[in-house]
Chains A and B, each alone.
Chain A
Amino acid sequence: MNNEINLDDYRSRDKVNKIVSKVFTGRDRGVVVREKSKIDELENDYENVRIVIPEDIYSINPSFFEELFYNVVKKIGKDEFFQRFEIEYQGYDFSDKLTEAIERILRDRNALEK
Chain B
Amino acid sequence: MHCDISLLPQLSDTSLVINNIFIQKQVSLPILDSIYKIAMILIAAFNIAFALYIFKVKNKKDNDSEEKNRRIGFLKTLVLDHSMIDLYRFFSLIDIETLRLKSKLSKLEKKEVNDAIIAFGIELRQRFIDPLIAIDNGLYSNVLHAVDELIDGITNCIYDEGINLTHKPKFEEQINQKIQKTKTSIISTLFSYKG
> Would you call B98 an interface residue if the criterion is a C-beta within 8 Å of the partner chain's C-beta atoms?
no
B118 touches A97 (CB 8 A): yes
Partner of B155, one of A17, A61, A96, A111: A61
> Would you call B89 an interface residue if the criterion is a C-beta within 8 Å of the partner chain's C-beta atoms?
no
B156 contacts across to A, CB distance below 8 A: 23, 25
Chain B's nearest CB lies how many Å from the CB of A16? 12
B159 touches A96 (CB 8 A): no
CA of A24 to CA of B191, assembled, Å: 33
Over the window 58-87 of chain A, the binary record of Cβ atoms lying under 8 Å from chain B Cβ atoms (1 yes, 0 no) is: 110111000000000000000000000000
A96 contacts across to B, CB distance below 8 A: 118-119, 122
Number of interface residues of A (CB under 8 A): 19
Given A19-B161, A58-B111, A61-B148, A25 and B155 touching (CB < 8 A)? yes
Can you list the 7 inter-chain pairs with the closest CB atoms, starting with the nearest?
A25-B152, A63-B148, A111-B133, A100-B122, A26-B152, A23-B159, A58-B159
What residues make up the interface of B, taking CB atoms closer than 8 Å to A? 107, 110-111, 114, 118-119, 121-122, 125, 130, 133, 137, 140, 144-145, 148-149, 151-152, 155-156, 158-159, 161-162
